[in-house]
Amino acid sequence: AQKVTQAQTEISVVEKEDVTLDCVYETRDTTYYLFWYKQPPSGELVFLIRRNSFDEQNEISGRYSWNFQKSTSSFNFTITASQVVDSAVYFCALSGNNRLAFGKGNQVVVIP
C-alpha cells in the first residue's frame, strides 16, 4: 500500500526565515513518482514539482528546493527566505500502482 507521512501539521515562521517540510513515503513499487503541491487560501491545489524514482538529483527553483533520498524514503521541501505569499498548505504525494496518495499536509504560516 502507498503511504505518505507529513509529520508536522502547522509550522509558523517569521518572514525571511527558512522552512523545511518533511515527507516520508512507503511503497513497494519500483517505479513511482513523488510530488509537492501548494494549496493557498483560495483552495486550488497547485502542482510544484515531480520527481521519479530513478532520479535522485536534488532540485532548486528560485527560493524552493527539494531533497530526494531514496535510502531514507524521504522527499523534503525547503522554502528559503520565506515570504507572506508562501503561507499555504503544502502536500506531498506519491504515485504508483494505481494509486495517487497524499499526505495530510503542512500548514505553513509566514508572519510578517
Shortest distance (Å) from residue 28 CB to other proteins: 13
For position 35 contacting other proteins by CB under 8 A, the verdict is: yes
Q: Vertex 93, ends 110 and 61: CA angle to 5°?
A: 55
- The pattern of x and - marking residues 84 through 103 that bind other proteins according to CB under 8 A reads -------x-x-xxxxxxxxx
21 interacts with other proteins by CB under 8 A = no
> For other proteins, which residue of 25, 32, 66, 68 counts as binding (CB under 8 A)?
32
Q: Which amino acid is at 6?
A: Q
3-state secondary structure of 71: helix
Position 55 contacts other proteins (CB under 8 A)? no
Under the criterion CB under 8 A, does residue 104 sit at the interface with other proteins? yes
Least Å distance, CB 70 to other proteins, is 15
As a whole number of angstroms, the distance between CA 44 and CA 16 comes to 25
- When asked if residue 77 is in the footprint of other proteins (CB under 8 A), the reply is no
Burial 77-95 (b: 16+ CB within 10 A, else e): bbbeebeeebbbbbbbbbb
